[in-house]
Structure 1
Amino acid sequence: MDYLQAFAISASGMHVERTRVDVSAVNLANANTVRAPGASGFQPMRVVARLTHFGALVSDGLASGAMPAVTVEPLLTAPRMVHEPGHPHADAKGFVAYAPVDPATEMVTLMGAMRSYEANVAAMNTTRSLALKTLEIGRGS
């Protein structure tokens, strides 16, 4: 068994999940960002991981340097409009445009990414334990 492939697969998964955590944190930090009238404001983002040739990645292993393509793409959604007539950024009708971030969705994304990251760490630790046990068995003979 090639342990480097297992380590590379876990590292690749951790890279994707770390990116998801970072993007979700940025989205949550900008949840209450106000858009000035006529200006473009914060657009929430999503992480997209693409595997182009999954069969090749499995057969060759990720140790060959092939990693899934991870991109951060903005969500093109309309701003969240809140009626606050006394706000300095209110439009003529008294509405203020906030960033279209749903905190509940972002928290679910954040928790899912953290759990997936933990699962990849557990898989890497298991692989490390197996490699160490193999070395112990080999040393005893």
Structure 2
Amino acid sequence: MDYRQSFGISAVGMSFERARVDVAAMNLANANTVREADGTGYQPLRVIARSAAPGSNFSDMIGETGLFTIGNAGRSFSIEGVDKPARMVHEPGHPYADAKGFVAYPAVDSATEMVTMMSAMRAYEANVAAMNTARNLALKALEIGGGAN
């Protein structure tokens, strides 16, 4: 059995989950960043997983070498802005408040971002466990094969 495929699958999974953690952390860090009067400011982000093209099979997705590459991993997801209206908070004394006393903050839901971060961390850990299991199986196979001489 070629263990490189299972290592590649785990590597792509870890890359995707790390991107989810990074984006959730960035969203949380900018949750209280004020938008300016012209509407510019932080736009919340999401990691979007890309499915394979219709009609493609698994071997097409992992490439000719039988190993996921960083290039393939980069095409498996993208980071896109979320087009949601700003969260309006009534703070009449704030320097960026509009005429009615409302300040526009990015549409970041802290609870959703925390759940995303926790689930991504658990999925990352599961990919690490799968990779370690495949590594241990490969080492045992080498150990068994080496003992036959």
What's the TM-score bracket when you normalise by the shorter of the two chains? over 0.9
Q: Is 2:12–2:68's contact at 8 Å kept on the other side of the alignment?
A: no
Tell me the secondary structure at the aligned position of residue 137 of structure 2: helix
Tell me the secondary structure at the aligned position of residue 57 of structure 2: helix
Q: How does 1:82-121 map to 2 (within 5 A)?
A: 82-121=89-128
Q: Residue 12 of structure 1 corresponds to which residue in structure 2?
A: 12
User: Given residue 63 of structure 1, which amino acid in structure 2 is its aligned partner?
Assistant: L
Output the CA distance in 1 between the equivalents of 2:51 and 2:59: 11
Q: Residue 136 of structure 1 corresponds to which residue in structure 2?
A: 143
Percentage identity across paired residues of the two chains: 60
Output the CA distance in 2 between the equivalents of 1:122 and 1:138: 24
Moved beyond 3 Å, runs of 4+: 58-62, 64-68
CA RMSD of aligned residues (A): 1.7
Tell me the secondary structure at the aligned position of residue 82 of structure 1: strand
Tell me the secondary structure at the aligned position of residue 34 of structure 1: coil
Unaligned runs of 5+ in 1: none
Unaligned runs of 5+ in 2: none
1:63 aligns with 2:64: no
TM-score w.r.t. length of structure 1:
0.92
Q: Is 2:32–2:105's contact at 8 Å kept on the other side of the alignment?
A: yes
Query: After superposition, what is the alpha-carbon deviation per residue over 1:118-139, rounded to whole angstroms, capped at 9, x for unaligned?
Result: 0000000000000000011011
